[in-house]
């Protein structure tokens, strides 16, 4: 049985959770999020908590039990605080800037790359090399961060590229040694 699914999701003040036959809707200060219901799981809202119950004790129901609980917890967190991903650019001439709502990245190509944010996503740039991606949907924020990183993935020889920042530190890339000149025989 899923240990995650058993835990109730606390509903903070200012957030409302509505459950109907087809959707779970969470409304908070940062917006409204909705998730389709899974027929295998019963969702109950009482005493400022969301409680999930399995209808049958099968493997599929157990998998969906933990998944839906995590999705509901992410929706509650998203409408209260939101989610942020941070990327850092390393390399000569690598920089980013926000023009209007769009993000413009110069990463060693002959042209700048422009990324328009989907609805609910906001870009901020600090120090020309640090990109902050903020939004209320965790999966959407992660997908945009991954697509920006894929523009110029970190390379192992010179360390240039776009890195994720995790707990204030750029991600670790194992550096490789370049080719050496042939030794005298």
Which among 36, 55, 80 is the end of a domain? 80
Q: In this structure, are 87 and 141 located in the same domain? A: yes
- Angle separating helix axes 59-80 and 138-149, nearest 10 degrees: 80
> Please, which residues have CB within 8 angstroms of residue 100's CB and are 6 or more apart in sequence?
none
Give the confidence band of 183 by pLDDT, cuts at 50, 70, 90.
low
Which among 16, 49, 80 is the end of a domain? 80
Q: Given this model, what pLDDT does residue 142 score?
A: 94
Read off the pLDDT of residues 63-75 as tens digits, 9 standing for 90 and up: 888 889 999 999 9
Average pLDDT score, the chain: 89
Q: In this structure, are 55 and 90 located in the same domain? A: no
**CATH number for position 50:** 3.90.930.12
How much of the chain exceeds pLDDT 70, in percent? Answer: 96
Read off the pLDDT of residues 109-151 as tens digits, 9 standing for 90 and up: 899 999 999 998 999 999 999 999 999 999 999 999 999 999 9
Q: Given this model, what pLDDT does residue 84 score?
A: 94
Q: In this structure, are 131 and 151 located in the same domain? A: yes
| Domain-embedded: residue 179 | no
pTM for this entry = 0.84
CA–CA gap between residue 128 and residue 148 (Å, rounded): 15
Q: Given this model, what pLDDT does residue 125 score?
A: 94
Which among 56, 80, 104 is the end of a domain? 80
């Amino acid at each position: 049985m899923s240990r995650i699914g058993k835990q109730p999701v606390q509903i903070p003040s200012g957030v409302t959770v509505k459950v109907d036959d087809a959707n779970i809707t969470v409304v908070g200060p940062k917006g409204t999020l909705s998730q389709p219901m899974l027929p295998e799981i019963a969702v109950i809202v009482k005493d400022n908590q969301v409680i999930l119950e399995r209808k049958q004790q099968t493997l599929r129901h157990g998998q969906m039990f933990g998944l839906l609980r995590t999705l509901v917890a992410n929706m509650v967190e998203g409408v209260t605080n939101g989610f942020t991903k941070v990327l850092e650019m390393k390399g000569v001439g690598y920089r980013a800037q926000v023009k209007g709502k769009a993000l413009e990245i110069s990463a060693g190509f002959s042209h700048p790359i422009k990324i328009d944010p989907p609805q609910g996503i906001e870009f901020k740039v600090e120090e020309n090399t640090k990109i902050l991606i903020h939004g209320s949907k965790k999966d959407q924020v992660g997908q945009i961060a991954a697509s920006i990183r894929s523009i110029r993935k970190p390379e192992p020889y010179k360390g240039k590229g776009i890195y994720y920042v995790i707990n204030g530190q750029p991600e670790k890339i194992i550096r490789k040694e370049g080719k050496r000149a042939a030794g005298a025989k």
